[in-house]
Amino acid sequence: MNATPQWRKSSYSGGDEGNCVEIAGLHDHIGIRDSKNPASGHLTLTRQRFTSLLAHLASQP
């Protein structure tokens, strides 16, 4: 794995919609950051917690 994270934008992010998140694999964790302000830092979750977060979000109306 590269020392520099490879951030990628959500597939749900449109052209200029502005509400975008990016994720990156960080060894055994996942980083989540605001694509509009990447220098502000990121949230780090274990892969298991990230999977739980996605399942929770998918279950919301």
pLDDT tens digits, 12-34: 766 666 678 899 999 999 999 99
Pick the more confident residue, 53 or 18: 53
pLDDT beyond 70 at 11 = yes
Indicate the domain borders of the chain: 8-58
Rg (CA), the chain: 12
- 23 and 8 Cβ atoms separated by less than 8 Å: yes
- 7 and 38 Cβ atoms separated by less than 8 Å: yes
Nearest by Cα to 16 from 36, 41, 39: 36
